[in-house]
Structure 1
Amino acid sequence: MIEGLYEAHLPVKNLDDAIEFYTNLGLQVALRDEDTVFLWIEKDKSWLGLWQGEEYKLPYHPSVRHVAFRVSYENLKRSLNWLETKGIEAVPFGNRKSVAPFIRSHQSNASVYFKDPDGNSLELMCTVDTPEELQKVCKKWSITEWEESLKGLKLQDIYK
């Protein structure tokens, strides 16, 4: 059914700064006019619309200023280094103090968070196949804790 993101839209203060930030992440400009740009996340599959202008500066709740980009588990493990090479700092999620990628076993996914120049919440996210006994544990696991919990299982069968 749903295999990725079709589109997401975010308000931005400066379109040129936003284009530079998102193309640095690897997105490609698809369409642009004077106050709007659409960038391909996956060419011909999903895009991000960025809108500049006074009418887009309403008070937004952070949950509607959020985009999650799908990545592989292996790339999520390398995400802090990747973000650092881009000059981007990861940020903690919620009440967490660590910025390191973490796994939500009860949701069968893993994430790392960061922000764009306008403070929009961005996330690199992957799905993890979670053994039934770990699905019942509502916890945010570090990668190390997670992999330790899976000792004896074939990791290539667990991660998507």
Structure 2
Amino acid sequence: MIKGIFETHINVSDVERSAAFYERLPGITLLHEDTARKSRFYWVGAPGVSMLGIRENYPTPLVQRQHFAFRVELDDLRSAREELSRLGIPTENFHGEDAAQLMVFPFMPAVSIYFDDPDGHSIEYLAMLDDEPRPDLPIMSWQEWDHLHGRTES
């Protein structure tokens, strides 16, 4: 019955600062602002498909680090690191290393990059790969994954 995750909400320490961050990301469109509740809601990708909500100091001023992933197309992931860098947002791979060496999760399989928002929430851009899942394999570099599948570059 469940088809996917429609919305994610996170607590932020400063809604204006966080809004400035999220509104720079490609594919994020402001849907609604509730100034009384210090909240903003965004469409993620196409309107009506998925939503992100940010709310200042709710339910408490304590902000705990959260993690969520935005699904992206593989071709977009290839250029995302450069786009995020242009925006002044550092990226890393699964191991916390430079995102120049991206990692593949063979059990899915998928490849991704990570970055943090102003409150330290962990954000992931994740692209599914067309290959068959390999849950028997450990997380490996995209280069190793492609080599395993007879491809020479990622």
Query: TM range, normalised to the smaller chain?
Result: 0.7 to 0.9
* Percent pairwise identity: 27
**Structure 1 residues 4 and 82, CA gap change in structure 2 (3 angstroms):** farther
**Structure 1 residues 40 and 84, CA gap change in structure 2 (3 angstroms):** same
What one-letter code is carried by the residue in structure 1 that aligns with 2:129?
Answer: V
What one-letter code is carried by the residue in structure 2 that aligns with 1:83?
Answer: L
Taking structure 2 as the reference length, the TM-score comes to 0.82
Taking structure 1 as the reference length, the TM-score comes to 0.79
Aligned 1:25-104 pairs, distance under 5 A = 25-26=25-26, 27-34=28-35, 35-42=38-45, 43-53=47-57, 55-58=59-62, 60=64, 62=65, 65-93=66-94, 95-100=95-100, 101-104=102-105
In structure 2, the gaps of 5 or more residues are none
What one-letter code is carried by the residue in structure 2 that aligns with 1:31?
Answer: H
Count of matched residue pairs: 147
Determine the structure 1 residue equivalent to 2:121. 120
User: How much is the aligned-residue C-alpha RMSD, in angstroms?
Assistant: 2.4
Q: Structure 1: which 4+ aligned runs deviate by more than 6 Å?
A: none
Q: More helix per residue: 1 or 2?
A: 1
In structure 1, the gaps of 5 or more residues are 156-160
